C-alpha cells in the first residue's frame, strides 16, 4: 500500500530492556496504523533479523543496517559516546535524521546516552542554548505538553522562554490549536512567587508576547492533571520529579483500587459488572498510551520511548514520531525561533528612539 505521507522513521532496534523482541513488534503495530511509513532499522543482525522475519510487512517496509555495538541501559552518557559514537545502533538511528535518510528517530535506549548522542550528532538549533525533553501529559481536558522533563537540571529565564516557544510549536503540531496556552510551573500564581529565573521569564513573556503562544502566567502542580494550559514549562529537575510523582501516584491508586475490589465477594461481583468501565479507566491511565519523550531544540527530532515498555508502548512512541514528522514539528520550531529572535535580536540595530519605545 502506497501512502502519500512518505514518512521515514529510523529505529534503534536494540534499545530498551527487551531490544528487538519488543521494538520490532511495536514497529509492526505502528505500521498497521500508518500504512506507507518507511523504517530504517539499526541493530545487531543476529538479534534483529530472526524477529524481523516474523513480521513480513514490517520487513517489506524497512531497510536494515547491521551495527556491532549496542548501548546498554546502564551505560553512562560519556561511556556511551566513547564506545558508541559513529557505530552503535543508537547513534546511527540519530544520524539517519541528520543525513535526511529519516524524518525522525526513535529509541527506547537510556535517556542520558540518547540525549548526549543526539546533541553531539544533531547539534542544538541556532538561537537555542539547550535542548529539552517534552512529555505528553494526560489531563482532564485531554492532553498537555510538559517540558523539560529531564534533559538538563536548571534553566535560566531565556531558556524557559525558549522552552515556551518550542512547547508551543509542538502543541500547534500535535493538538492543532493556533495559539496554545502556556504556563510556567511555580509554587503559587502570584507574581512574587518562585525562583528569580521563573519570575524573570514570566515578566518577559508578559512584556514581549510571543505571537505563537498565549502566555497565561504561573501554574501549580495540581494544574498539570487539570490541563489548565496546553503547555507547562519548567526546568528539567522539577519536570522530571513531577512526571515521576504523577506516574507513581497513578500506580499507587491503581493498587488501592485493585485491593479494594478484591476484598469482598460483593466488590468482586461489582467489579465484574463494571468491567468495561474499569477497562476504560485502565486505558485512560495506561502509561503506554502516552509513551514517548520528544527531544526539542536539536536539528532533528528524536523520540525517547520508556525502556521497560512493551510492543504497544513502542508503537505509541512511533505513532508520536509519525505525528511529529507529519506536522513538520522541526520546521515549525525553526520558523518560530527565527521570527521571535528577529524581533528581539540585539543584532538588529535600533535607533535610540525606536529602541526606547
Per CB under 8 A, residues contacting its own copies are 76, 139-140, 150, 153-154, 185, 187, 192, 194-195, 220-226, 234, 236-238, 240-253, 255-257, 260-261, 263-264, 266-267, 269-278, 280-281, 284-285
Residues 15, 307 contacting (CB under 8 angstroms): yes
Closer to its own copies by CB, 10 or 238: give it. 238
> Closest approach of Cβ 337 to its own copies, in Å?
27
Read off φ and ψ for residue 107, nearest 5 degrees: -145, 140
Closer to its own copies by CB, 126 or 255: give it. 255
Residue from 2, 18, 11 nearest 39 by CA: 11
Closer to its own copies by CB, 25 or 293: give it. 293
121, 298, 62, 65 alpha-carbon torsion, rounded to 10°: 10
Closer to its own copies by CB, 136 or 169: give it. 136
Residue from 155, 150, 73, 68 nearest 110 by CA: 73
> Closest approach of Cβ 248 to its own copies, in Å?
3
Closer to its own copies by CB, 23 or 184: give it. 184
Closer to its own copies by CB, 69 or 241: give it. 241
Distance of CA 17 to the CA centre of its chain: 19
Return the CA Rg of the chain.
22
Residue 172 has which C-alpha cell?
500547534
> Closest approach of Cβ 335 to its own copies, in Å?
32
Q: Are strands 293-296 and 132-139 parallel, antiparallel or unpaired?
A: antiparallel
Closer to its own copies by CB, 36 or 142: give it. 142
* Rounded Cα gap, residues 51 and 158, in angstroms: 46
Concatenated DSSP letters of 17-66? TTTHHHHHHHHHHHHHHSTT-EEEEEE-HHHHHHHHHT-HHHHHTEEEEE
> Closest approach of Cβ 159 to its own copies, in Å?
16
Q: Are strands 181-185 and 214-219 parallel, antiparallel or unpaired?
A: parallel
> Closest approach of Cβ 125 to its own copies, in Å?
24
SS (H, E, C) 285-346: HCHHHHCCEEEECECCEEEECCCCCCHHHHHHHHHHHHHHHHCCHHHHHHHHHHHHHHHHCC
> Closest approach of Cβ 286 to its own copies, in Å?
12
Closer to its own copies by CB, 64 or 271: give it. 271
Residue 52 has which C-alpha cell?
524481523
> Closest approach of Cβ 192 to its own copies, in Å?
7
Amino acid at each position: 500500500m502506497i501512502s502519500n505521507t512518505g514518512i521515514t522513521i529510523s529505529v534503534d532496534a536494540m534499545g530498551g530492556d527487551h531490544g528487538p523482541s519488543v521494538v520490532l513488534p511495536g514497529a509492526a503495530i505502528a505500521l498497521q496504523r500508518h500504512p506507507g511509513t518507511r523504517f530504517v532499522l539499526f541493530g545487531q543482525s543476529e538479534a534483529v533479523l530472526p524477529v524481523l522475519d516474523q513480521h513480513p510487512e514490517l520487513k517489506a517496509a524497512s531497510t536494515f543496517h547491521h551495527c556491532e555495538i549496542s548501548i546498554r541501559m546502564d551505560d553512562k552518557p560519556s561511556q556511551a559516546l566513547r564506545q558508541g559514537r559513529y557505530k552503535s545502533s543508537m547513534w546511527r538511528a540519530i544520524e539517519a535524521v541528520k543525513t535526511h535518510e529519516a524524518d525522525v528517530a526513535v529509541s527506547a535506549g537510556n535517556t542520558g546516552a540518547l540525549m548526549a548522542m543526539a546533541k553531539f550528532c544533531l547539534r542544538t538549533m541556532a538561537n537555542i542554548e539547550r535542548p529539552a525533553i517534552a512529555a505528553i501529559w494526560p489531563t482532564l481536558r485531554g492532553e498537555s505538553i510538559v517540558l523539560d522533563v529531564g534533559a538538563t537540571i536548571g534553566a535560566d529565564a531565556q531558556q524557559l522562554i525558549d522552552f515556551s516557544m518550542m512547547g508551543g510549536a509542538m502543541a500547534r503540531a500535535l493538538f492543532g490549536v493556533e495559539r496554545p496556552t502556556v504556563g510556567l510551573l511555580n509554587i503559587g500564581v502570584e507574581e512574587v512567587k518562585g525562583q528569580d529565573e521563573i519570575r524573570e521569564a514570566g515578566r518577559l513573556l508578559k512584556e514581549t508576547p510571543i505571537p505563537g503562544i498565549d502566555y497565561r502566567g504561573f501554574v501549580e502542580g495540581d494544574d498539570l492533571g487539570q490541563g489548565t494550559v496546553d503547555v507547562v514549562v519548567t526546568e528539567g529537575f522539577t519536570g522530571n520529579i513531577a512526571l515521576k510523582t504523577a506516574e507513581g501516584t497513578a500506580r499507587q491508586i491503581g493498587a488501592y483500587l485493585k485491593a479494594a475490589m478484591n476484598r469482598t465477594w460483593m466488590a468482586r461481583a461489582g467489579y465484574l459488572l463494571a468491567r468495561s468501565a474499569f477497562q476504560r479507566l485502565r486505558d485512560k491511565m495506561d502509561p503506554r498510551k502516552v509513551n514517548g519523550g520528544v527531544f526539542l531544540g536539536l536539528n532533528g527530532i528524536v523520540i525517547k520511548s520508556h525502556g521497560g515498555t512493551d510492543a504497544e508502548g513502542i508503537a505509541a512512541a512511533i505513532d508520536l514520531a509519525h505525528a511529529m514528522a507529519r506536522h513538520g514539528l522541526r520546521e515549525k520550531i525553526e520558523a518560530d525561533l527565527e521570527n521571535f529572535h528577529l524581533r528581539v535580536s540585539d543584532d538588529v540595530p535600533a535607533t535610540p528612539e525606536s529602541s526606547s519605545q
